Structure 1
């Protein structure tokens, strides 16, 4: 006798900015659409509590933990870049790609705007999307005895900053085990191409196309002649060591979400992570168009073709 085929329920993580009314309403709508399509919506436990306080219908949604992160097929994110970074953190131990629906302002990491939310859910259910892998950073902190005391990762950037407003950081920067320069500064940003339009951009670093495998290093307010932005290959290791005369120490920030105190003598080593971050894409398009759209750049007078080769009209 043939046994009936076991139906595996698809689990889709929904990540929303719970402090904004529009994202709470959107989360309820997405959860309803996923259920109607036969998929299982999943929320992080903290998100469910916060969302259910406003929308009680969300109180019975399955939570991450009840469903292992390895079983999450995709994460739908309702919010801005900060919420997308949080979603990437939630699914870091799995393989789920992240699909950002912009509910904020710039939303540079988001794939679509809120008006296309229903179509996005439909395409997720149909598995009608591409997955793009983005370079991420492995970040390790070592003590003065060269022992690893902290380890994390970053999608946008790892930043070493001064702990005291009144004093500069005194650092020595190293590339691939060779010293490059010693100087005082407010900090150093080590950025991925994805993060090149974030803190790196504000600090005067270069915009790097996502297809370029590279790491940018940008000193902040450095007191040195040779302290300009650098771009190194993805297989190079960047190390920043706090000199002992940096009495107040510093702080490591990764994606503005995870931090670690750095005493004098601490050493931060940044290199490419073996595990990229996966982003879901619905509309393959030129990165140039994204820059123009998100930053509202003027292109009046351009006489080129309406679409770039390979782009969708």
Structure 2
């Protein structure tokens, strides 16, 4: 039986030793120390810890299995545990892509939308790994093919978040022709075009004005960036569609960037085809928070009623947040109720 056929839902292969590969942002000592403590706990639970040979010296984990950072690094591993931000997560996704390993991220960056847990909850996450108490989500990925003016393939790559077709000369507009499923749709000048997954809808595509798409929705997104056209709105297509971005021979030069990590030059008069990849990316989840909860937490979204200014005696979860401070009266609301402007003024004067 193949590895794909013998792995259970949590990712653990019965009857075989358990392996966890670490992918760590080693540029920060606090991250290194957290990874070291986590590795020690996994080892005490009888799980073999793997580290990448370009990170091994910085991590200095006794008894760790050292592997090269290539397509075989995660082969046979149950989890690729990521310590860092979304950039580190995307780097780890390259290692896990062609294996059955699931990615589990500890957010040590700024937003960390792809990560499963925050540093303060690492112990809970490690316990879940030890007990195989986690679920695995399958995330749609992109297959990217680049063709020259004659239609011959000149390269290809893949992306978890997005493939960005962008101009190489900043001073010039990039002219593009957009086709969906082989049928021309529109053309315009722009800075670039993003072809994104639902996972990537909260990344570059979000910054460019694209919609937020729940990750369990199967769809492809096309989001123009700074387009010079009336009809240049974000598009959401079938997951089975082929998104084509052609660059006229007399226009600006272009390149395609996948997740900001892998780039291919687009030949003069060439085109880029983006479609759903045959293989999904697996992400391990421990916590039961919904995607909506993640949006609220990561972006600090207000979820109380707009007109609901009544203070709450106790925090009661989403929808029952305390009202924010009134910046006009300098009134501050604490967990026990209102504090008046006079009280606050006195406190400020005393602090000064």
Task: Give the structure-1-normalised TM-score.
Answer: 0.90
Instruction: Check if 1:11 corresponds to 2:14.
Output: no
Alignment-derived partner of residue 272 in structure 1: 276
**What root-mean-square deviation, in Å, do the aligned CA atoms of Structure 1 and Structure 2 show?**
2.0
Partner of residue 282, structure 1? 286
- CA drift at 1:263: 2.5
* Equivalent of 2:219 in 198, 214, 220: 214
- Counterparts of residues 100-139 of structure 1 (less than 5 Å): 100-139=105-144
Cα deviation, residue 60, structure 1: 5.5
Instruction: State whether structure 2 residue 47 is matched by structure 1 residue 47.
Output: no
Could you say which structure has the larger radius of gyration?
2
CA distance in 2, matches of 1:101, 1:74: 13
SS of equivalent residue, structure 1 residue 77? strand
- The TM-score, its normalising length taken from structure 2, stands at 0.80
Aligned residue among 23, 32, 40 for 2:31: 23
Residues 153-204 of structure 1, C-alpha deviation per residue, up to 9 Å, x if partnerless?
Answer: 1110000000011011111111000111121110001110000000000000
Contact kept, 8 Å, 1:14 with 1:77, in 2: the verdict is yes
Structure 1 pair 306–59 and aligned structure 2 pair: CA distance change class (3 A): closer
Gaps of 5+ in 1: 1-5, 309-313
Runs of 4+ in 1 over 6 A off after TM superposition: none
Alignment match, 1:165: 170
What residue number does 1:3 align with? none
1:71 aligned counterpart, secondary structure: coil
Q: Answer whether contact 1:48 1:59 (CA < 8 A) is retained.
A: no
Q: 2:65 aligns with which of 62, 65, 72?
A: 62
Q: CA deviation at 1:59?
A: 6.7
The equivalent of 1:294 in structure 2 is: 298
1:136 CA displacement: 0.5
CA distance in 2, matches of 1:257, 1:229: 23
Corresponding residue SS for 2:210 = coil
Q: What number of residue pairs does the alignment pair up?
A: 296
Is 1:71 the equivalent of 2:90? no
> In structure 2, what is the Cα distance between the partners aligned to 1:68 and 1:19?
21
